[in-house]
Amino acid sequence: MSKNPLISESWSYKETDVLIKADNWDAIKAAKKSIISHRNALERYIARNPIFKLSIDPIDVEAGSPKVVQLMAEAGRAAGVGPMAAVAGTLAQIAVEDTVASGARNILIDNGGDIFIHGDRSYTIAIHAGRSPLSDKLALEIGAEMLPISVCTSSATVGPSLSFGEADAATIVANSGALADVAATAVCNETRGEPKQAIKAGLERARAIPNLTAALIIHGSYVGTWGDLPKLVIADKLSEELMKRIQIKI
């Protein structure tokens, strides 16, 4: 028996642009309420502690800080980067958790390419990689048995976020949205120089960060992977030459 399709809504609140998929409109409403609440809590904290927004290095926060602040700071320490690198993944994670706590079963939140999923559905997630010829042609098959899970991507060539690397996409799979988001930034930062060596450096960085499930890096026409990666599928036809380049592993 086939399951009813999920409903979806694209929605923006200030600089937060999300795609929400869920079983019903009540779940989407709950997710939006959570994002507004926790984003506002983060903004109030930053107004009192501007270094939290400005730091590119890990920082400590005081006990009793808002949940979103604590999760971001903890993830930043684990990956060795500033806490703001975790903002999108953390908001997605908390909103999914809050929505599930309110009674929702299936919920996916995509916050600008940083995704958190809960439920009993399977998903195919394409990887956007800017100008790379592999952009949107590779995808991860996320089975229901893997949920809840986060898939977050950082890029040196797409979007306004600060990056010290050169990869078109550094994608991290983890159980924590906050950790997956900061790890994607940290891994992308390592991808400098000749593509194959840059990918290897990024994958080594991923391996050094605790509690990650897997990493995938796209740099031009080259791809590298590490860890227990969900099944990688071809979402669009690739040339034989490009297929040969999906081989870098550690």
* C-alpha to C-alpha distance for 91 and 85, rounded to whole angstroms: 12
Euclidean distance between CA atoms 38 and 73, whole angstroms: 15
User: Pairing relation of β-strands 222-227 and 246-249?
Assistant: parallel
Is residue 123 within 8 A of residue 213, CB to CB? The reply is no
- The reported pLDDT for the residue numbered 102 is 93
Q: Is 24 exposed, middle or buried (0-12, 13-18, 19+ CB in 10 A)?
A: middle
Largest Cα separation within the chain, whole Å, is 55
CA-atom Rg of the chain in angstroms: 18
| CB 193, CB 219: distance < 8 Å | no
Distance of CA 247 to the CA centre of its chain: 23
- What domains does the chain contain, in order, with CATH numbers? 7-249 (3.10.520.10)
End-to-end alpha-carbon separation of the chain, Å? Answer: 41
Q: Tens digit of pLDDT per residue, the chain (250 long)?
A: 567 889 999 999 999 999 999 999 999 999 999 999 999 999 999 999 999 999 999 999 998 999 999 999 999 999 999 999 999 999 999 999 999 999 999 999 999 999 999 999 999 999 999 889 999 999 999 999 999 999 999 998 876 666 777 899 999 999 999 999 999 999 999 999 999 999 999 999 999 999 999 999 999 999 999 999 999 988 766 655 566 555 555 5
The predicted model scores a pTM of 0.91
Phi, psi angles (nearest 5°) of residue 193 = 95, -155
Sheet containing strand 149-154, edge to edge, reads 7-13, 16-22, 107-111, 114-118, 149-154, 169-174, 212-219, 222-227, 246-249
**Phi, psi (deg, nearest 5) at residue 128:** -85, 130
Instruction: State both tokens at 220.
Output: 């031009």
b/e 231-250 (16+ beta carbons within 10 angstroms → b): ebeebeebeeebeebbebee
Contact present, 174 and 146 (Cβ < 8 Å)? no
Output the pLDDT for position 172: 98
